[in-house]
Structure 1
Amino acid sequence: MKFSTALPLLAGAGVALASQDLDVLSSRQVHVDKRGLIDVCVGLDVDLDILGIVVGHLDVCLCLSVLPDFVKTNPVCQSGSMVGGDREVQSTLENLINNHANKQNCTYPDHADPFCASGAPCNYHCKDGFQPQYDDGVDCDNPGNNIPKDCTCPPPMSVCNGQCGNFPHGCGSQAPSSRRRRSNAPKCDAGKTICGVPGGSHGRGWECIDTTSDLESCGGCAIASPFDSLTSRAKVGVDCSALPHVSSVSCKASACVVEACASGFEPSPAKDACIAVAVAARRHIVDAAGAEGLVADVAGLVGVKEGAAGVAKVGRDLVDAAGAEGLVADVAGLVGVKEGAVGDVHVLRDLVGAAGAEGLVADVAGLVGVKEGAVGDVHVLRGLVDAAGAEGLVGDVAGLVGVGEGAVGGLNVGRGLVDAAGAEGLVGNVAGLVGVKEGAVGDLHVL
């Protein structure tokens, strides 16, 4: 994967020393020392590994000074930021550059516009009308490897207000006052602000920054412009990347916006900082408890309403709902328990149990219906249904056995076995097999 090697570094703004061969006009210019900015650059051809995950490949000449912008704009770096955050990616790149065997410490003269090339990491172009000066001529076959010795303004041209050119009418400027110096300060494109940069010689380094979106100068210059007076009231910006416990952050509309935080922290409600997590969220459990009118609703699982007391716990495969005095517990399609003095429902993968007293209604649709009995109990397993009751119990397993209006009735259904026994008027009917009616005692075994 190839990326442009013509990466912008820092714009130059100092006024160069006049050439010794310039005419007397040069003595009238204001001289500012060379910035002498130092950078560390190297050509990288590596897989970018962030926290043990290879997020992509980089084949690019890169300098330390451009890393913040490079991380924000390079697609491979942005993939890495999704894994470990911008700061982790930038730290990884810094280590790759500083520990590389072929790294170079680069210095640039005034009027230089640096660009990093794989074969010449410290290369630069000359600007402001200045011309590159080479020691050993020019390599026409590999122009990217031609590194100038300096940027000069050769005769008969001269320097006027930082520009090299022909000025037949003279320069006409005197040493400027402080007000004049401010008026002669470099200007940035609309929407950008002149801010200082670290490492500038005599504090004269500067660059044009969009403070509405720049990560390290958000809302204003983190380092004041060298052209501002000491009493300037320019708003000081914020380095969003330096916020504590931040792993992913951006600058939007002149304000830091925190997207993600380190472990144990979460974005604040305003998303301008990371705060400690107060309550640890559990992956698979929700607890809800209350009294006197609690409404706990886990959609599609359990609804508990208007009970004096209720508790609901939801896990992967278990739902428990219990209550008293009018509790409504409804597990749709499984069991309904209503208007009982006491009700309890347990739901597992293969087990449904429902028990109640004083008018309990327990209905497992298509399996067993138990209604209006003083006591009723239903248990449903994979291959087993038990139904027992007293005083008017109706137990009906459709197509197998009907037991009605008996003082006592018992029914057991297994995979290959049906037992039916009763007394005093029991009706046991297994269709097509045996009918026993109006006998004092009847017993039926089917295999």
Structure 2
Amino acid sequence: MPLAVHLLGLAIFAQGTSEFMLSGLLPNIATDLGVSLPDAGLLISAFAIGMVVGAPVLAVATLRVPRRTALIAFQLVFAAGHVVGALAPGYGVLFATRVVSAVAYAGFWSVAAATAVSLVPQKSRGRAMSVVAMGLTLATVVGVPAGTVLSQHAGWRTAFWAVAALTLLSALSLRTALPAIAGGAELPNLRRELTGLARPRLWLSYLITTLTFGAGVVTFSYLAPLLTEVTGLPAGWVPAVLALYGIGGLIGITVGGRHADSAPLRTLSVGAALLTLASAALACTAADLPVTLVLVPVLGFTAYLVNPVVQSRVFRLAPDAPTLVPAVNTSAFNVGITLTPMLGGLTIDAGLGLPSVAWVGAATGLLGLAATAWAATLERRNRPTPPPLTTTPRTPVGAATHTEP
């Protein structure tokens, strides 16, 4: 795998830490800014909304900009947003910086995906996307727990400063290692890209992306308060348990990357089914500490098992739209990230308790499994029918052979 692909994964690690670290910072942010926990949880949805809008818009806006230039520009904006966020005097300013940072991150994700698959042979696209997406998984293993520790000992703003510094270091590494123009010699064509998007099976794949990733992220978004208020885990142990989720995710994305190219729909089906079962189990047993400690890494494994598949499959469904296809898929990811934490917050506000967010995850995972079954049915119907076998009649041994005169 080219070094540039690994460096793209490092960049996703830096920015992905910010995307998910709020799951461990929510209690401190809510207390510091004087807002409720569900309102603080909307910062996660604000980030996702920025990514939903930003990915396709910036993909089109930078279609003819050299990919390295676009990637570094997005990182600089992202870092600046976190500097302002670290200095934010109140909730409104922090909310705005989350949106701006998310727009830049969305642009980075879509261009990074197109860049990664352009640097490897077609048969290795799933593996390349698993390497890039592994940066996000490592963010949950290392970045999110580290951000939680920083928040507990030096305040949540310190975590924002750390993300800004790490993003700038990543930009410098890409400036050094990434080719000035990553991709083929053919310039992107907006009309061809838009035509490539007009495929119903592609939009079904986007729906699967939304449902499967939304099912995985909703429980993780409220995992820190769930662990402390329901499971009874001391706050000092929260980073370690968040790391368990990330370790499960790291294993899941590795397994998913190995099967993304050879058995995509089977991997999706298994992942969605296990995610549904694990979410439902956690909803029923959240007050049991030993069981919860087992289920947390299982949730991470199932949430990220499907990631390389939904990332790489869209390129196979629309190979003539290599820039807009991953951009809209990034939006699909973040539709899930936007809607499910909002639904989780509504269930909490309705008095159903923190375990109810896991029920939201189970219901969304079940919908994802149904959508995957639909995609598998369509794929079987669209599979070319092999021509009928033709056989030559065999002449019995000893029979006379007649020829036309």
Does TM-score exceed 0.5, indicating one fold?
no
Q: Which has the higher helix share?
A: 2
Q: Which has the higher strand share?
A: 1
Q: TM-score range by the shorter chain?
A: under 0.3
TM-score calculated relative to the size of structure 1:
0.20
Larger Rg: 1
